[in-house]
Amino acid sequence: MTKVTRFEDLRCWQLARKLTFQVYTMSNQGQLAKDFDTRSQFKRAGLSIMNNIAEGFGRFSPKDFIKFLDYAAASCTEVKSMTYLMLDLSYFPAEDIESLQNQTEEAKASILAFIKYLRNKVGQ
């Protein structure tokens, strides 16, 4: 693996960035645009994913980095949970929700794979 010197080079951050863009795009559409509380929480959860990856990268120890990656993975779960509410309330077509759920799972899987890599690297 090539040495990564910027968080922008991390695949998990790149996927989180795309997911965050999708969350923000959907937040401005349909009924969700009018549901201020849900929209705000949805955007905060989405943004938390990419920001926790970046913040963890800036920490001085792999243990701290793993902690922030764990927060990012948990935020993926929060985003996915919120998609079920949006599905139940018919805010978006089922295909759009499924696409966002798949994107969320891809980002989470990448984060978890990176956590596993770091744990093996530092012997945790």
Domain boundaries along the sequence of the chain: 8-122
Long-range contacts of 97-102 (CB under 8 A, 24+ apart): 100/19, 100/22, 100/23, 100/26
Q: What percent of the chain has pLDDT over 70?
A: 98
Q: Which residue in 65, 97, 64 sits closest to 81, CA to CA?
A: 97
Mean pLDDT score of the chain: 95
CATH architecture classification, 8-122: Up-down Bundle (1.20)
**What is the per-residue pLDDT across 52-110, written as a single tens digit (0 to 9) for each?**
999 999 998 999 999 999 999 999 999 999 999 999 999 999 999 999 999 999 999 99
pTM over 0.85: yes
